[in-house]
């Protein structure tokens, strides 16, 4: 069983933004057992930007792997299903824009500077597409980071700044649809061989050059592609796989910490314990006790 920790940045009951239904940041970590799976029908315009990790969402009956900096927009009425059972770590931003607000008459829309006719054109395009997926959309991710900063700090002018950022996000997404930059292909298959080999040989002290050769790339190209596709540097990805396997062994075996440390490629039980606690939030012994309990 994997765990989730939701860190909400919500507007609360006294919502001063008529156009925003909610805004939150979701962080996945081994602290909570809720929200692993769900299937919902979207009621508002849902926009998500991936910060780290790799996720799977099913949209219109088709499963998509979503990676760091990817952007998703889902229109009202779409069925969206998530399955985070295999996700160990990761995070993403999510904002829901009120569908009714953006479809009402111009005189009632005070939170956007976009012309009413342009609003109708933009959201009609979104409705027609049902959902959009953009790969490696760093521009949108940067907008989400600025939104988070404004919501947290609430400095002078934050209300106007947040609405301006929402407008910027809407226009950015729409312009990308015109450029036909939507891609839903899954090019992570080039790392499947690498992942299998690493998982089967975690005790080996891998070098970046060895990992790059397994993927049929040079070191620089491999490092950049791995970061863009999976959100990890080569060594961070290797540590991720080692900790994932160590967590499994702690839960499913009676191996001692030293044996688990060496089997998963750590130099010593102390090195293993320090790394495990840093990433998982618990020392290995406590993690095992909680898993058994």
pLDDT tens digits for range 15-26: 678 788 888 888
- What is 189-292's CATH number, 1.10.10.60, 3.90.320.10, 1.10.287.130, 1.20.58.220? 1.10.10.60
Q: Which of 56-70, 129-143, 177-191 has the lowest mean pLDDT?
A: 177-191
pLDDT at position 183: 44
The interaxial angle of helices 284-292 and 234-252, nearest 10 deg, is 50
Chain segment 226-282, per-residue pLDDT in tens: 877 776 789 888 988 898 888 889 888 889 999 999 999 999 999 999 988 877 767
* Banded model confidence at residue 66, pLDDT cuts 50, 70, 90: confident
Instruction: Return the CATH number of 5-178, one of 1.10.10.10, 2.40.128.20, 3.40.630.30, 2.60.120.280.
Output: 2.60.120.280
**Residue spans per domain, the chain:** 5-178, 189-292
Residues 234-273 as b or e (16 or more Cβ within 10 Å = b) = beebbbbbbbbbbbebbeeeeeebeebbbbbbbeebeebb
pLDDT greater than 70 at residue 177: yes
């Amino acid at each position: 069983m994997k765990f989730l920790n939701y860190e909400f940045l919500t507007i609360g009951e006294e919502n001063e933004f008529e156009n925003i239904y909610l805004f939150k940041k979701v962080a996945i970590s081994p602290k909570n057992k809720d929200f692993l799976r769900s299937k919902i029908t979207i009621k508002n315009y849902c926009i998500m930007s991936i910060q780290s990790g790799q996720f799977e969402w099913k949209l219109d009956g088709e499963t998509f792997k979503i990676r760091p900096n990817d952007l998703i927009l889902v229109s009202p009425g779409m069925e969206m299903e998530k399955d985070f059972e295999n996700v160990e770590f990761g995070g993403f931003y999510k904002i829901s824009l009120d569908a009714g607000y953006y479809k009402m008459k111009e005189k009632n829309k005070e939170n956007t500077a976009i012309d009413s006719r342009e609003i109708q054109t933009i959201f009609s395009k979104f409705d027609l597409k049902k959902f959009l997926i953009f790969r490696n959309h760093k521009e949108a991710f940067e907008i989400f980071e600025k939104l988070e900063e404004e919501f947290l700090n609430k400095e002078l002018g934050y209300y106007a700044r947040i609405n301006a950022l929402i407008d910027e996000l809407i226009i950015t997404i729409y312009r990308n649809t015109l450029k036909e930059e939507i891609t839903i292909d899954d090019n992570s298959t080039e790392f499947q061989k690498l992942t299998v080999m690493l998982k089967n040989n975690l005790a080996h002290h891998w070098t970046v050059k060895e990992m790059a050769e397994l993927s049929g790339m040079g070191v620089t190209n491999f490092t950049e592609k791995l970061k863009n596709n999976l959100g990890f540097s080569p060594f961070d990805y290797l540590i991720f796989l080692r900790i994932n396997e160590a967590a499994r062994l702690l839960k499913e075996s009676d191996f001692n910490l030293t044996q688990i440390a060496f089997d998963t490629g750590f130099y010593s039980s102390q090195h293993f314990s320090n790394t495990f606690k840093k990433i998982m939030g618990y020392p290995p012994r406590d993690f095992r006790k909680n898993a058994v309990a």
